[in-house]
Structure 1
Amino acid sequence: MSYEVFNVVRGLHILAVIAWMAGMLFLPRLYAYDVEQTGKAEPLRSEMQGLLRLWQRRLLKIIINPAMTAAWIFGVWMILVHAHGFGQGWGFILLPWMATKLIAVVILSGWHGFLAGELKRIHAGTSTRSGRFWRMTNEIPFLLAIVAVLSVTVEWTLG
């Protein structure tokens, strides 16, 4: 594979990650707003919760899920190119910077799964999470992104 094609794949990976991150940063905020509707008077509460839940579902299904899938596809593609196309072999995955990035991506994917599961609980009325919880955890994706991006851009090593 040529470097030009690799750069296109890398660019698409970055764009997919941006979309994934945008959704992952916004969804917990929508959850916080939803939870905070509980004490409000009808019919405004039901109307607002209905709208928030529509946004939550659309954000997850139309933006977050496809963006995560694209980020993973392009990321795996780049790993395959590094291992085979650039002749680096599989050993580069064990380099500290790459291993750290992959761990951050796996944790971010787990958080994505938690948010998706929580959507079902919120819509079923069985969620026990507070607005404060959602505000406190809202920045988890960004912290993981900092770790992943700095690992790749610095390519730090041990010792």
Structure 2
Amino acid sequence: MSWYDLARGLHILAVIAWMAGLLFLPRLYAYDVEQNGKAEPLRSEMQGLLRLWQARLLGIILGPAMGAAWVFGLWLLWLRSGNGADWSFAHQPWMIAKLVGVVALSAWHGFLAGERKRIVAGASTRSGRFWRMTNEVPFLIAIVMVVSVTTEWAFG
């Protein structure tokens, strides 16, 4: 077993957990927003449960999984560079696409975390339709990232 294979396996597991959370949290937001038109006390009971799930998903799965994905990803970069000796691969189009994807997923994660605060404060203006339409954004980004890394494509 090589260190690179270990780092790659751990990175993949962390990304799977992170992606699962990124795909599920907007769905919870859609359900939460749609409770606003319902009658009490069922509305507040259901929103309380949904908000508990949101908090747990962010705190127990999403945050740690994102952190682990970053740590193992940086470790992979270090190992791929020959322990810092050759970073030429980092300038290749496929790696740039991967890194842009990582930044985009991290930004989406931050947006989702901030939106939870707005939802709890009653200040969110997003609809259930918005959350359903944006639910697949992380997966579309992941497609580009995975294809980039597995094919190592280049121009010309």
**What TM-score, normalized by structure 2, do the two folds share?**
0.97
What does 1:31-70 align with in structure 2 at a 5 Å threshold?
31-70=29-68
In structure 2, the residue corresponding to 1:85 is in which secondary structure?
A: coil
From 77, 80, 83, give the equivalent of 1:82: 80
Give % identity.
70
Where structure 1 has 5 or more consecutive residues not aligned to the other structure, the ranges are none
State the shift of 1:81 in Å.
1.2
* Structure-2 separation of matches of 1:35 and 1:123: 10
Q: What CA RMSD, in Å, does the superposition of the two structures yield over aligned residues?
A: 1.1
* Structure-2 separation of matches of 1:150 and 1:138: 20
Where structure 2 has 5 or more consecutive residues not aligned to the other structure, the ranges are none
* Structure-2 separation of matches of 1:86 and 1:4: 17
In the alignment of these two chains, the number of paired residues is: 156
State the shift of 1:6 in Å.
1.3
**What TM-score, normalized by structure 1, do the two folds share?**
0.95
* Structure-1 separation of matches of 2:7 and 2:80: 12
Q: Can you list the C-alpha shifts for 1:60-91, whole angstroms capped at 9, x where unaligned?
A: 0000010000000000011111123384x112
Q: Which residue pairs with 1:19 in the alignment?
A: 17
In structure 2, the residue corresponding to 1:141 is in which secondary structure?
A: helix
Q: Which amino acid counterpart does residue 128 of structure 1 have in structure 2?
A: T
Q: Can you list the C-alpha shifts for 1:17-50, whole angstroms capped at 9, x where unaligned?
A: 0000000000000000000000100000000000
In structure 2, the residue corresponding to 1:21 is in which secondary structure?
A: helix
